[in-house]
Chains A and B, each alone.
Chain A
Amino acid sequence: MTHAARRRVLPGFGLTMGITVLYLSLVVLIPLATLPATAFTMSWEAFRATISDPRVVASYKLSLGAAFVAAAINAVFGSLVAWTLARYSFPGRRIVDALIDLPFALPTAVAGIVLTTLYAPSGWLGAPLARHGIDVAFTRTGIIVALVFIGLPFVVRTLQPVIEELDPDVEEAATSLGARRMAVLWHVVLPNLLPAWLTGFALAFARAIGEYGSVVFISGNMPMRTEIAPLLIMTKLEQYDYAGATAIALVMLLLSFALLLAINGLQAWTRRRVTG
Chain B
Amino acid sequence: MACQEIQEDLQAYLDGELTPVRRAAIESHLGECSDCRGILAELRTVSKVLSGWSGRSVDDGFEKSLQTRLAFEPTEAKRNKTAPVRAARFAGSLPATGPVYEGGFLRWITGGWRPAAVAAAVLIAITVYFAREAGAPLPKRVATTPKTDALGALSGAGTAGEIADGIVFAELVGKRAIAAVELDSPRVALSDVVTAFLATAETETDKSVGKRLINLLAGNAHMQPAARRVTVAGLFGAGAGLFGRELHAAEAAADPLAAARQFESAGRLREAQLRYRALASGGAVRAELALGSLNLRMGDLDGAEAALAAAAAGGDIVVKTAADGLMVEIADARKARQEVAPLRATAVSAADWQRVALLEVQAYDYRSAANSFMKAAGAASEDQIEFVQSVRFRSAWCQKETGQISTGVYGFKGIAEDSRSPATLGYAAGIEQAVGLARAGDYAESIAVCKMLVKRPAGDPVMEAMAYFQKGFVELRGLEDKAAAAESLGRVSAAGQGNLSYAALILLQSSGK
A binds B: no
Residues of A within 8 A of B (CB): none
Residues of B within 8 A of A (CB): none
